[in-house]
Amino acid sequence: MELDSKIYVAGHRGLVGSAIVRNLQAKGYFNLVFRTSRELDLTKRYQVDEFFRQEKPEYVFLAAAKVGGIVANNDYPADFIRDNLMIQTNVIDASHQNNVKKLLFLGSTCIYPKLTPQPMREDSLLTGELEPTNESYAIAKIAGIKMCQAYNRQYGTNYISVMPTNLYGPNDNFDLESSHVLPALIRKFHEAKKNSVPSVEVWGTGEPRREFLYSDDLADAAVYLMNHYSGNELVNIGVGKDISIKELAQKVKETVGYTGTVEFNTAKPDGAPRKLVDVTKLNSLGWEAKIPLEEGLTLAYAWFLKNIDKANLVAK
């Protein structure tokens, strides 16, 4: 991408999209275009077509998606598969119809089988059953990957797919009904500290292990791959290290300064036992994560405190 290339960031106000915008601007890219969901409903094909005809972006970061944690995915499977399939289909096909030079599709590591060998390699896709609680979201994302690959083969497009691990950072969703585990813990511990609540409940046993990547690192990797990678195979984006939910809860507790106890509700689901991505391919392409978890947690909590009145405490 040239500094004056016209770049469309779909989902620019979300956790991922806002980080990509910050990264692009910091690197000197100035010809960026985006729309709020009220200005452009990506589930409406006629609106997407009109936007692409008018703006003619050269590069597209497809970071727009309906996302949520284990509760939202389990309770609203139809919403997750419907909305994500429509968003992806509309943006990917409109990119082809309007001669976009390159598109980067952001998936998720939930695409991998529940019991796939760890760390998860890119070639483990479709080798086993998915985690049932987020199957609808995963299937939609798999369809997006396959759509990019199919367009590359049939039309000669240059669409790449990246699979980020669990993300956190500025503009995260802190709604307890739909958020992911890390922002949910930040809010729970903060409110417990503020209200002098003696204990905080965490779902599950605390034994599952997860990997966490700060959103600014993900954005840096995405921009790097847009500039340095072309290929039909997906690329994992992660740090290559994981941590148990029990350990994570302790780290968030310390970051927030909460002094009460943590209680694990073992009647609630754990989800997949472990989710760690193999980042061999990413590292071989010349990129490695830079922000350690402790630093990221401090940054994320600072942002939460600064933006608590306008933070995404309720799902959009």
Consult the annotation and say whether 14 binds a ligand. yes
Consult the annotation and say whether 164 binds a ligand. yes
Consult the annotation and say whether 260 binds a ligand. no
Cα–Cα distance for residue pair 261/248, rounded to 1 Å: 14
Active-site residue, from 29, 59, 112, 137: 137
Does 8 qualify as catalytic in the annotation? no
Locate all alpha helices (DSSP H) within the chain, ordered by sequence: 15-26, 45-55, 70-75, 77-97, 135-155, 181-194, 215-228, 245-256, 280-284, 293-306
Rounded to 5, what percent of the chain is helix, strand, coil?
Answer: 45, 15, 40
**Does residue 198 have a cis bond before it (omega within 30 degrees)?**
no
Consult the annotation and say whether 234 binds a ligand. no
Consult the annotation and say whether 169 binds a ligand. no
CB atoms closer than 10 angstroms to residue 229: 18
Consult the annotation and say whether 251 binds a ligand. no
Consult the annotation and say whether 15 binds a ligand. yes
Q: Cα separations (Å) of 238 from 36, 123, 225?
A: 28, 16, 13
Q: Which of 189, 305, 194, 196 is nearest to 251 (CA)?
A: 189
Consult the annotation and say whether 106 binds a ligand. yes
- Give the DSSP letter of residue 173: B
Locate all alpha helices (DSSP H) within 156-214, ordered by sequence: 181-194
Consult the annotation and say whether 84 binds a ligand. no
Consult the annotation and say whether 270 binds a ligand. yes
Consult the annotation and say whether 11 binds a ligand. yes
Q: Which residues are annotated as a binding site for NADP(+)?
A: 11-17, 106-109, 141, 164-167, 180
Q: Which residues are annotated as a binding site for substrate?
A: 188, 203, 210, 270
Q: Which residues are annotated as a binding site?
A: 11-17, 106-109, 141, 164-167, 180, 188, 203, 210, 270
Supply the residues annotated as catalytic.
137
